[in-house]
């Protein structure tokens, strides 16, 4: 069976500023490619053959990179919201561009996961579900939507971000929706699936199920998390078909020039045409294309913007270079 998908990529990404001042969160490079590319490849490899990107903030930056999807082995279309419609409004709006029938996989555009998407789709069908949520378990669920399940994995409660969550099983940001459920979302206004659609479905007795998968899961919504995602992909703790080959300590893209006396480690990514001068130490950094790192600089867990220059002997931990201009 072939499936359709919608990728929610229209958010403002405010927690990632200054990285998102000029680039939407889903287009930020993670392990050498825009984050969205990891999700598109995951969708393709699970048998999805068409995907609509639900865009709003800096919508025009997606299509020049992804085009019609032919370079990625999947059909890609673009739905643009003039004003952001929220997660539910975005799904309703983007679904108008889908062809085919059958369930639709919906991804939050900021989750890196090792979960078995094909198994989630099969589980949805086997339960004759209206909606299936991918769920994972975290140590502290307060910042997430905690989801309560009965012994048949049927959802009976959603608890959006609360001080004392009743469970550590959370909404992991990837859903399977039947088309009728999408058609029931109000058209042309802001709707949150988490706050409005999911509770309404439960109240109406719809068949809402949880697919629990405890493999790798990370919300890349903060700078520290984004760096961790990139580092984990380079080091092999996380996997993606979109990550170029690497040696485990760092990834250098084509055209990068790295001095033989530089020490690069902890999953650092060195963008295309970057110059790394003598004696530089980089640990866990993302260096944008065309940047230059001056001799003996020592940078840890830092972001260097495309084309930026870092002064000789600079020392920094968890800093941003060149993002405010
Ligand atoms: P913050 O501003 O830092 O909270 O990030 P965000 O704007 O991405 O919001 P959030 O993390 O809550 O969004 C979850 C996912 O839904 C992300 O992939 C967003 O891109 C996406 N999203 C949120 N709101 C909208 C919207 O109004 N329209 C569309 N198309 N996508 C949205």
Mean pLDDT of the chain: 95
Q: What is the pLDDT of residue 206?
A: 97
Q: Which of 8, 77, 112 gets mutated to test ligand 1 (max ligand atoms within 8 A of its CB)?
A: 8
**CATH number for the domain that contains residue 307:** 2.160.10.10
Q: What token pair was written down for 201? A: 């479905």
Q: What is the pLDDT of residue 48?
A: 96
Q: Which of 10, 182, 188, 197 gets mutated to test ligand 1 (max ligand atoms within 8 A of its CB)?
A: 10
In a domain, 27, yes or no: yes
CA distance 86 to 191: 5
Q: Which domain holds residue 284?
A: 244-321
Residues lining ligand 1, Cβ inside 6 A = 8-15, 25, 54, 56, 81, 84-87, 90, 108-110, 221
CA distance 163 to 133: 22
Phi/psi-derived region of residue 318, left when phi > 0, alpha when psi is between -120 and 50, beta in every other case: left
Residue 207 shares a structural domain with residue 248: no
Distance 85 CA to ligand 1 centre (A): 10
Residue keyed to tokens 């971000």: 161
Residue 200 shares a structural domain with residue 260: no
Cis-peptide, bond into residue 18, ω within 30° of zero:
yes
Structural domains in the chain (count)? 2
Residue 72 shares a structural domain with residue 157: yes
Q: What token pair was written down for 111? A: 């989750």
| pLDDT tens-digit series, residues 214-260 | 999 999 999 999 999 999 999 999 999 998 766 689 999 999 999 99
Residue 125 shares a structural domain with residue 257: no
Phi/psi-derived region of residue 202, left when phi > 0, alpha when psi is between -120 and 50, beta in every other case: alpha
Q: What token pair was written down for 158? A: 């959603």
Residue 200 shares a structural domain with residue 296: no
In a domain, 237, yes or no: no
Residue nearest to atom 22 of ligand 1 (CA): 11
Residue 307 shares a structural domain with residue 169: no
Atom of ligand 1 nearest to the CA of 16: 3
Q: What token pair was written down for 19? A: 């990285």
Q: What token pair was written down for 58? A: 């800096």
In 3D, which of 144, 131, 153, 135 has the Cα closest to residue 204? 131
Euclidean distance between the first and the last CA atom of the chain, given in angstroms as a whole number: 48
Enter the pTM of the model: 0.95
Residue 185 shares a structural domain with residue 271: no
Residue nearest to atom 23 of ligand 1 (CA): 11
**209, 212, 241 from 127: Cα distances, Å:** 8, 14, 29
**pLDDT at 25 > cutoff 80:** yes
**CATH number for the domain that contains residue 12:** 3.90.550.10
């Amino acid at each position: 069976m072939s499936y359709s998908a919608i990728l929610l990529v229209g958010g403002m990404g405010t927690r990632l500023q200054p990285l998102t001042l000029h680039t939407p969160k889903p287009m930020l490079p993670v392990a050498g490619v825009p984050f969205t590319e990891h999700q598109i490849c995951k969708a393709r490899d699970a048998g999805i053959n068409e995907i609509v990107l639900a865009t709003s903030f800096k919508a025009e930056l997606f299509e020049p990179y992804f085009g019609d999807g032919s370079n990625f082995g999947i059909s890609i279309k673009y739905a643009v919201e003039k004003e952001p419609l929220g997660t539910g409004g975005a799904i309703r709006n983007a679904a108008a561009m889908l062809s085919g029938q059958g369930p639709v996989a919906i991804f939050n555009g900021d989750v890196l996961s090792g979960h078995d998407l094909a198994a989630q789709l099969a589980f949805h069908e086997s339960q004759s579900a209206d909606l299936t949520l991918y769920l994972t378990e975290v140590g502290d669920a307060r910042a997430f939507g905690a989801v309560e399940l009965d012994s048949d994995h049927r959802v009976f409660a959603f608890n959006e971000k609360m001080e004392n969550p009743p469970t550590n099983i959370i909404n992991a940001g990837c859903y399977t929706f039947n088309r009728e459920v999408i058609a029931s979302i109000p058209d042309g206004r802001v709707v949150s699936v988490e706050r409005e659609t999911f509770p309404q479905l439960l109240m109406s007795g719809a068949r809402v199920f949880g697919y629990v998968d405890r493999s790798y899961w990370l919300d890349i919504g903060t700078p520290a998390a984004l760096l961790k995602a990139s580092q984990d992909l380079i080091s092999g703790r996380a996997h993606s078909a979109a990550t170029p080959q690497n040696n485990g300590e760092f990834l250098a893209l084509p055209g990068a020039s790295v001095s033989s006396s530089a020490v690069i480690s902890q999953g650092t990514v060195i963008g295309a045409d970057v110059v790394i001068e003598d004696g530089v130490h980089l640990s866990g950094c993302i260096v944008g294309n065309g940047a230059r790192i001056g001799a003996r600089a020592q940078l840890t867990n830092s972001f260097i913007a495309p084309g930026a220059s870092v002064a000789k002997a600079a020392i920094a931990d968890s800093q941003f270079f060149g993002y405010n201009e």
